[in-house]
Structures are given as C-alpha cells and as structure tokens.
Amino acid sequence: MPIRSVLNLFERSRSNWIGGPHKLQQLQQEGILYVVTGMQDCSLVGLSKQEDSDDSISTILPGQKVQVETSFVVRKKGMFISCCHTASVNRVRIAQGIVNMMALDETTRRPTNKLPQWMADKFNPVND
C-alpha cells in the first residue's frame, strides 16, 4: 500500500473526527481553517515478504478493510493539534504517523485559538 494512500486514510479519520465535510464547511464559514503544518514519523510498518510471520502481512487486497485509529494532543486551546494515527488490517499495524495541524483565522491568515464553542467542546468534552 503506498504511503500516499495511507495519508488519505489518515486525513479521512481527522475530518470525520471534526464532524465530516459539513462541519469542516461550517468551520470555514465561521472563519477558521485547519492546515497541516508537518508530519513526523509517517511510515509503513508490519508489511513483510514472509507470509509465515504472525505480526506482519504481505499483501493488502483491494476492498480489504483498513482500520484507522486516531488520537489527538491539543495545545494552546486548539490552536495546535497533533494527530497520532495508526492504520491496521486484521489487527496488524501497517502504518503509523503524527500529523500536526494549526488553526488559522481565515481573514488574517494568522494562527488563532478563538474557535467556535462547538469546536472547543470537542477538545474539552464535558462528562455527564
């Protein structure tokens, strides 16, 4: 599986966490853009030519389900987010990486932590 395909899966996971395309559009309408500022340690892992190993796989077939788990580290009230991604097939890790994002004010193009309340609530969920 090409790393570019894995990065697309990571991006889908991040946008789904925010709420999908409608919430991304709402965020933009409210004047906030999240941009990717960098990636760290993005790599394919667990892929092997040896089919007898329990902790690796040799082939990913078209249509095979790939699971992406994403966790977030939020800094400066949501201005900076580090997204830690892990992709796996049949519980075998195939890729991992950290994608860093920054919130920008759409008009000034400067970093901001003045997020809409619904977005801030995503970073600080209230326990009922």
- Per the domain annotation, does 20 fall within a domain? yes
Query: What CATH number is associated with residue 86?
Result: 3.10.129.10
Pick out the chain residues at pLDDT < 50: 128
Whether 128 maps to a domain, the answer reads: no
In a domain, 127, yes or no: no
CA dihedral 68, 65, 62, 8 (to 10 degrees): -20
Q: Give the domain range for residue 22.
A: 3-122
Report if residue 82 sits inside a domain. Answer: yes
Instruction: Provide the number of structural domains found in the chain.
Output: 1
**Residue 38 lies inside a defined structural domain of this protein:** yes
Per the prediction, the chain carries an average pLDDT of 87
**pLDDT tens per residue, range 47-60:** 665 555 556 666 77
